[in-house]
């Protein structure tokens, strides 16, 4: 039954396992070779657009941040804003596309950013999971992520589906806008998205996340680092970890470690280094610098990458396109957070003080 826990102890674990199915829902009928077909957003929808703002909160903000990098690569100035920090100061007009990313479609700060965008005559698109939600009624257009209902307060499958849906939206905007260009490797990139459900299945069949969690449970703090597309994944890894374990967790851009965070590392802390993607080797060097200060390193690394001298443990990730592989790394981090929270006896589906949807500003 779709809305029950079935054989699972927690909805969160069920929803982690549901990611292949959620992704199939997100992708169904939307990719056609090197092109994207979005029924609610036909060809030409974004001809007048020359820059993009994404507004979102929490996990959805991390998906928005990942999407902003893809849009920038397509040649479009794009910025992800935390919805509560989106002010009238931002230059917004009819050439601005404002994308409201919200799983529930009801987050007050995101809705209020969307309303501000409308007042300034921006073109707006909602990216949401909930059919008929407030955001879908208020935005000019809606792209549903079609991930199925998510019950656990901590978002898992909807993050993965949001990033994929936003990748498809990026393709549409890049095709339409005179200011942008579609990525040269569109066919390979889209094929990697289509293959993602199976890659997640392969990853979910591995068991290392549980032993990694056991090895690092109870440390003073847990840090997550990544660059480029892996930076939003580092932020998301840390958010998930703090939400459900109540332990101190922080995500950093790998290159920023030496500008402050290194002061926090001790032999009682753990560093999760995201080594997937085009810039993984650089992050490996940053992990090495932290290791020299005594931190415990967990590498989240592609098959075949040599990490022996640096990593105390390795979480392997199946090989795929460098701009997609971060989503697989994220699934490993979801599992580590889950097992750690489980080991600590936390209220995983309903963490203290948190709500699934925050409807007040």
List residues with catalytic annotation: 356
Q: Which is nearer to ligand G6P, 131 or 355 (CB)?
A: 355
Q: Which residues make Cβ contacts (< 8 Å) with residue 92, sequence separation at least 6?
A: 53, 98, 116, 117, 120, 121, 122
Q: Which is nearer to ligand G6P, 206 or 357 (CB)?
A: 357
Q: Which is nearer to ligand G6P, 48 or 250 (CB)?
A: 250
Backbone angles phi, psi at 314, to 5 degrees: -130, 135
Q: Which residues make Cβ contacts (< 8 Å) with residue 138, sequence separation at least 6?
A: 111, 114, 115, 118, 124, 126
105 and 81 Cβ atoms separated by less than 8 Å: no
193 and 160 Cβ atoms separated by less than 8 Å: no
CA distance 334 to 49: 35
For ligand G6P, the binding residues (CB under 6 A) are 57-60, 102-104, 107, 110, 153-155, 354-358
* Smallest gap from residue 228 Cβ to ligand G6P (A): 22
346 and 247 Cβ atoms separated by less than 8 Å: no
> In the β-sheet with 78-82, what is the strand arrangement from edge to edge?
78-82, 51-56, 96-102, 123-128, 141-144
* Smallest gap from residue 208 Cβ to ligand G6P (A): 25
* Smallest gap from residue 153 Cβ to ligand G6P (A): 5
Terminal CA-CA length for the chain:
34
* Smallest gap from residue 129 Cβ to ligand G6P (A): 8
Backbone angles phi, psi at 58, to 5 degrees: 55, -135
* Smallest gap from residue 239 Cβ to ligand G6P (A): 8
Q: Which is nearer to ligand G6P, 116 or 291 (CB)?
A: 116
Q: Which is nearer to ligand G6P, 60 or 213 (CB)?
A: 60
């Amino acid at each position: 039954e779709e809305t029950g826990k079935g054989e699972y102890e927690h909805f969160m674990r069920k929803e982690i396992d549901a990611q292949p199915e959620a992704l199939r829902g997100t992708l169904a009928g939307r990719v056609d070779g090197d092109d994207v077909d979005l029924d609610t957003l036909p060809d030409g929808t974004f001809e007048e657009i020359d820059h993009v703002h994404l507004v979102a909160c929490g996990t959805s903000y991390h998906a928005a941040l990942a999407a902003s990098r893809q849009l920038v690569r397509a040649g479009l100035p794009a910025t992800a804003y935390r919805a509560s920090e989106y002010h009238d100061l931002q230059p917004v007009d009819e050439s601005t596309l404002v994308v409201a990313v919200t799983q529930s479609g009801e987050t007050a700060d995101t809705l209020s950013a969307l309303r501000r965008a409308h007042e300034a005559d921006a073109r707006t698109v909602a990216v949401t999971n909930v059919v008929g939600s407030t955001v879908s009624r208020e935005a000019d257009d809606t792209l549903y992520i079609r991930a199925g209902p998510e019950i656990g307060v901590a978002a898992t499958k909807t993050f993965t589906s949001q990033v994929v849906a936003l990748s498809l939206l990026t393709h549409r905007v890049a095709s339409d806008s005179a200011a942008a260009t579609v990525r040269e490797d569109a066919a390979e990139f889209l094929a990697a998205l289509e293959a993602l459900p199976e890659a997640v299945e392969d990853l979910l069949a591995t068991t290392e996340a549980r032993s990694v969690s056991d090895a690092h449970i109870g440390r003073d703090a847990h840090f997550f680092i990544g660059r480029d597309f892996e930076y939003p994944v580092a932020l998301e890894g840390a958010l998930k970890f703090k939400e459900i374990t109540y332990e101190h967790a922080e995500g950093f851009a790998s290159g920023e470690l030496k500008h402050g965070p290194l002061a926090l590392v001790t032999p009682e802390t753990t560093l999760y280094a995201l080594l997937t993607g085009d810039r993984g080797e650089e992050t490996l060097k940053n992990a090495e610098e932290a290791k020299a200060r005594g931190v415990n390193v967990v590498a989240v690394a592609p098959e075949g990458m040599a990490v022996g001298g640096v990593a105390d443990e390795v979480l392997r990730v199946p090989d795929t396109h460098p701009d997609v592989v971060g989503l697989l790394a994220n699934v490993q981090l979801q599992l580590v957070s889950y097992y750690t929270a489980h080991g600590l006896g936390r209220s995983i589906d309903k963490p203290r003080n948190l709500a699934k949807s925050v409807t007040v500003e």
